Amino acid sequence: MKRLMFGAAQVISVALAGLVFAAVGATDGALAQTKNLSIVTGGTGGVYYPLGGGLANLLTKHVPGWQATAEVTGGSVDNLKLLGAKRADIAFSMADASLDASRGEDKFKGNVVNQRTLAVLYPNIMHVVTTEASGIKTMADLKGKRVSTGSPGSATEVMAFRVLEAAGIDKDKDLRRERLGAAESTNAVKDNKIDAYFWVGGLPTSAVTDLGATPGVKLKLVDHSDVVEKMNAKYGPLYAKGTIPASMYPGQATPNAISSVWNILVVSDAMPDDVAYNIVKTIFEKRDEWATVHAEAKNVKLENQLRANTPVPFHPGAIKYMAEKGVKIDPK
């Protein structure tokens, strides 16, 4: 099986494919030429995972000779590390995590990940989730509480730390902190093991919907859009103010003022141009089919394919497709 990894691993896999072809004969020639793509996503309670599974299905179905699979991961940070280690081909990521990876900073200290953007996806919404019973109404009320800041290796954790910092809360001293994914956090709230949790993802996120729909639970989403200016002052113009509309989640009676950051789809800068082109072409030309898996796919729009929306340059294959659609992208 020929796998779309790059460098020494590619040479080895091509050689093995040739041996298999010689051993089993021409009837298995098509199998030997199959291109395998690994798509790294996130936890099962978020949006990356269903979108990644949907993308894998699209590529397998609509690009002859391709076989794509989606993998559960801790999220953006893990995804970028897997991409940098040539253990993944396509990665879902938040823009802030990709910027850190491209610079070799923070969780990527000393390990630059050379990546290119395939597409700007949709805004990732920071949720600060609790219940009315917790008594938490503001960010300041989190002090002294049991709070999950996201699973290790997730961009939720990166952004949660920045939100807390901008809100004047010390993540280590002011909280009894846990490190759980979205689904695990919801279960922990139900079991009274934590009081609140951070989650950054699309709308709606199934784990938050689950908590809001739980009998006897009154969902509370904490406003925090006032932290955006401080976050951008320190980390660059990555974040924006936004709103989760009322009734997005069960029991959510009022709009929730939040911070957000763009999601992007990235690949190694060594990916061949024609491969990148075909991935992007499939994304945009089969977007409605992709949206049957999760509605956030509808927000992957040509008009959002702007260099200003991603800290990572676009891949030449993506630039070629966008140009065909009348979208001019700065390659730098």
pLDDT in tens, 294-318: 999 999 999 999 998 999 999 999 9
Q: Which two tokens stand for residue 303?
A: 């008009």
- 175 has pLDDT over 70: yes
The answer to whether residue 331 is domain-embedded is: no
Residue range 256-269, pLDDT digits in tens: 999 999 999 999 99
**Mean per-residue pLDDT, 78-91:** 97
* pLDDT for residue 44: 86
- Indicate if 180 and 235 belong to the same structural domain: yes
Q: Which of 261, 284, 305 is the last residue of a domain?
A: 261
- Indicate if 159 and 136 belong to the same structural domain: yes
Task: Work out the mean pLDDT of the chain and round it to a whole number.
Answer: 90
Q: Which of 261, 288, 306 is the last residue of a domain?
A: 261
* pLDDT for residue 291: 97
The answer to whether residue 51 is domain-embedded is: yes
- Indicate if 32 and 130 belong to the same structural domain: no
Q: Which of 211, 233, 261 is the last residue of a domain?
A: 261
- Indicate if 62 and 139 belong to the same structural domain: no
Helix (H) or strand (E) holding 228: helix 228-235
The answer to whether residue 82 is domain-embedded is: yes
* pLDDT for residue 236: 86
CATH of the domain at 313: 3.40.190.10
Residue range 50-82, pLDDT digits in tens: 999 999 999 999 999 999 999 999 999 999 999
* pLDDT for residue 6: 39
- Indicate if 270 and 314 belong to the same structural domain: yes
The string of DSSP codes covering 17-47 is HHHHHHHH-GGGHHHHTPEEEEEE---TTSS
* pLDDT for residue 27: 36
The answer to whether residue 332 is domain-embedded is: no
For the whole model, what pTM was predicted? 0.76
Alpha-carbon dihedral 121, 77, 172, 166, rounded to 10 degrees:
-30
The answer to whether residue 58 is domain-embedded is: yes
Q: How far is CA 6 from CA 55, 87, 114, 127, in A?
A: 21, 9, 12, 37
- Indicate if 76 and 141 belong to the same structural domain: no
State the DSSP code for 219: E
At a CB cut-off of 8 Å and minimum separation 6, what does 36 contact? 1, 2, 3, 4, 66, 67, 68, 69
* pLDDT for residue 154: 82
The string of DSSP codes covering 149-200 is ---TT-HHHHHHHHHHHHTT--TTTS-EEE---HHHHHHHHHTTS-SEEEEE
The answer to whether residue 253 is domain-embedded is: yes
Residue range 187-235, pLDDT digits in tens: 999 999 999 999 998 899 999 999 999 999 999 999 999 999 999 999 9
Domain extent, residue 149, equals 124-261
Number of domains within the chain: 2
**Mean per-residue pLDDT, 117-131:** 96
- Indicate if 131 and 232 belong to the same structural domain: yes
* pLDDT for residue 17: 37
The answer to whether residue 329 is domain-embedded is: no
* pLDDT for residue 299: 92
Task: Give 45's pLDDT tier (boundaries 50, 70, 90).
Answer: confident
- Indicate if 247 and 318 belong to the same structural domain: no
- Indicate if 47 and 95 belong to the same structural domain: yes
- Indicate if 267 and 248 belong to the same structural domain: no
- Indicate if 136 and 68 belong to the same structural domain: no
